[in-house]
């Protein structure tokens, strides 16, 4: 960064954000360091989009969790056809129908979405969230090549009262590993985005998984109690920091 730029009034703000501000300049161009950093971030975002999900860490904690796939047969198809990522593969749908387990209060689907790298944070999120769902029947599910609306169909098949879709967000140039969590009451095919609550940017450098778990536990309980989700359900968890001990009944 040039001497002139070091005195820029917002250079100090750079310490508080990952956004690309106060980059400095070399003549009329960006400093080489910033160009290289940008290229590195762009490559990380592309890698996150194309990577196959790794469910090993989740399976070590929850080995019996079923796995489903969307109708997108490959990553290339998934990226070109978002509609296929919202639908269950016929084989996966039949397997869910054959589970025969009681309808859960909450279905949690953990999937790759647009960033398989974000799945690294899923175990920590679930370990913090599940104890806060004391007394609820919770069904876990893993999903490949999935979009948010896949949880609607899966929740409808299982008769879940609510569905929580946890998946990798579209990578940005400041973070390629953010998780997003989308809560839908009474999931069924055709639900609108306005009928969901979203907690996003879940990662160590963003919203810490433990903090996200507290918000999600609040939203889940309020959703089930008031039988709604989306724009009519507000996140007031910070005003009600009451503890939620115990654990759910896992299928």
pLDDT, tens only, 220-238: 999 999 999 999 999 888 8
Q: Using 70 as the pLDDT threshold, list the residues of the chain that sit under it.
A: 1-8, 240-251
**pLDDT at residue 7, rounded to an integer:** 53
Q: Distance between CA 197 and CA 231 in Å, rounded?
A: 7
**pLDDT at residue 5, rounded to an integer:** 55
- pTM equals 0.87
Label residue 20 exposed, middle or buried (CB < 10 Å: 0-12, 13-18, 19+).
middle
Known binding residues: 148, 169, 198
Known binding residues for adenosylcob(III)alamin: 148, 169, 198
Token pair belonging to 229: 């989700």
Q: Find, among 183, 191, 188, the residue nearest to 226 by Cα.
A: 183
**pLDDT at residue 199, rounded to an integer:** 97
Structural fold of domain 54-226: Rossmann fold (3.40.50)
Cα angle, residue 224 at apex, residues 161 and 199 outer, rounded to 5°: 95
């Amino acid at each position: 960064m040039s001497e002139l730029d070091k005195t820029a009034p917002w250079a100090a703000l750079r310490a508080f954000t990952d956004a690309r501000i106060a980059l400095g300049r070399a003549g009329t161009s960006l400093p080489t360091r910033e160009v290289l950093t940008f290229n590195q971030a762009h490559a990380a975002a592309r890698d996150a989009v194309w990577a196959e999900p790794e469910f090993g860490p989740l399976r070590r904690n929850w080995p019996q969790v079923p796995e489903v796939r969307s109708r997108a047969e490959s990553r290339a198809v998934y990226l070109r056809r978002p509609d296929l990522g919202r639908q269950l593969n016929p084989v996966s749908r039949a397997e869910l129908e054959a589970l025969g387990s009681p309808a859960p209060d909450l279905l949690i689907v953990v999937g790759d979405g647009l960033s398989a790298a974000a799945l690294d944070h899923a175990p920590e999120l679930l370990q913090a969230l599940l104890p806060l769902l004391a007394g609820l029947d919770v069904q876990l599910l893993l999903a490949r090549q999935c979009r948010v609306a896949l949880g609607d169909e899966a929740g409808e098949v299982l008769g879940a009262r609510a569905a929580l879709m946890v998946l990798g967000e579209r990578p940005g140039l400041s973070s390629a590993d953010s998780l997003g969590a989308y809560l839908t009451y009474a999931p069924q095919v055709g639900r609108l985005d306005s009928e969901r609550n979203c907690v996003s940017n879940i990662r160590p450098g963003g919203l810490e998984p433990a903090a996200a778990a507290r918000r999600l536990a609040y939203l889940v309980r309020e959703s089930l109690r008031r039988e709604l989700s989306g724009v009519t359900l507000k996140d007031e968890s910070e005003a009600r920091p009451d503890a939620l001990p115990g654990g759910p009944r896992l299928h």
